[in-house]
């Protein structure tokens, strides 16, 4: 009889649980504010040692200029989201077209822009788009921030296209068959049966995409747009004080956090509200 007992070391079985999603709590916000306070405190001590204006006074002095730059970030995010959504919705519907050329072409456009680096698209738009366009007898200028907005709208368009395609595909096929039995055309089925149900499914990820777009707008500083990130660098160059580096960028981070965090909370609330019971 062979004994089952062994003195060899063994690894006890372990259970792999489902990964818990990271959720930003009020304590994370407190930690962020504490980090800003520590940076400001260190900078204040250094400023007093060299007899220069305090960090808080300097930040307050430059806040109106930063507010102008941040307003440009928000304006670009609104315009890029509007352009991307307006083009992405029909592009997503084209992905479910019954015509193979339309379906294949829309799929290729979606995958190309969805998997392209945002910064590369920004560079292409800045370099390839003209500085002005002529419409009849009118010359319309294309400033850098507008070309950057067009560049940001391209990946947004592709992601919205995927949202629409996925939402339409998630509708049970029995509803298509029921609408067909009522002699409804494919467009009538989409407009009256499918798309109204898709709105609830698309709204939370659409809001999440907007938050991602907003925090991506500082990428436009690389191509020379005078938004909040660029102006922060200009302020640091103007002040020529190393102790301002961390507080100023933390201050800018706080602005984006205050704007985007409520969007994230609203997204979670809508996900719970629209969840299938």
pLDDT tens profile 138-152: 888 889 999 999 999
CA 16 centroid distance within chain: 31
Domain parsing of the chain, residue ranges: 27-129+139-274
Residue % of the chain over a pLDDT of 90: 47
pLDDT above 60 for 70 = yes
Which residue's entry shows tokens 């063994």? Answer: 10
The domain made up of 27-129+139-274 is a member of CATH 1.10.3720.10: yes
Lowest mean pLDDT among 20-24, 99-103, 272-276: 20-24
Q: What's the rounded mean pLDDT across residues 73-82? A: 96
Residue recorded with tokens 């029921």: 178
Question: Could you give the C-alpha distances from 221 to 122, 125, 185, in angstroms and in order?
Answer: 10, 14, 48
Kindly report, residue by residue over 199-223, the tens digit of the pLDDT. Answer: 888 988 999 999 999 999 999 999 8
Residue 84 has pLDDT above 50, yes or no: yes
Q: pLDDT, tens digit, for every residue of 24-60? A: 555 666 666 666 666 656 555 555 545 677 888 889 9
Q: Please state, as a whole number, how many other Cβ atoms lie within 10 Å of the Cβ of residue 207.
A: 18
Residue 276 has pLDDT above 80, yes or no: no
Rounded mean pLDDT of 240-268? 90
């Amino acid at each position: 009889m062979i004994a089952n007992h062994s003195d060899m070391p063994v690894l006890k079985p372990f259970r792999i649980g489902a990964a818990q999603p990271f959720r930003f709590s009020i304590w994370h916000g407190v930690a962020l504010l504490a980090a800003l306070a520590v940076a400001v405190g260190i900078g204040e001590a250094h400023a007093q040692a060299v007899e220069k204006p305090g960090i808080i006074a300097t930040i307050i002095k430059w806040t109106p200029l930063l507010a102008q730059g941040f307003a440009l970030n928000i304006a670009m995010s609104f315009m890029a989201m509007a352009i991307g959504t307006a083009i992405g919705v029909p592009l997503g519907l084209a992905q479910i077209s019954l015509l193979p050329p339309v379906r294949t072409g829309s799929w290729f456009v979606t995958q190309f822009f969805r998997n392209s680096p945002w910064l590369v698209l920004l560079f292409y738009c800045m370099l390839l788009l003209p500085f002005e366009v002529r419409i009849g007898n009118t010359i319309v200028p294309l400033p850098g921030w507008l070309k950057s907005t067009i560049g940001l709208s391209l990946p947004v368009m592709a992601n919205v296209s995927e949202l629409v395609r996925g939402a339409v595909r998630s509708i049970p096929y029995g509803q298509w068959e029921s609408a067909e039995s009522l002699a409804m055309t494919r467009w009538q089925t989409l407009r009256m049966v499918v798309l109204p149900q898709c709105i609830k499914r698309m709204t939370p990820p659409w809001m999440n995409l907007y938050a991602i777009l907003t925090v991506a707008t500082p990428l436009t500083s690389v191509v020379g747009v005078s938004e909040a990130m660029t102006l922060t660098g200009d302020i640091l160059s103007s002040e020529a004080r190393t102790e301002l580096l961390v507080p100023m960028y933390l201050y800018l981070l706080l602005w984006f956090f205050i704007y985007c965090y409520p969007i994230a909370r609203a997204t979670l609330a809508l996900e719970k509200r629209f969840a299938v019971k």
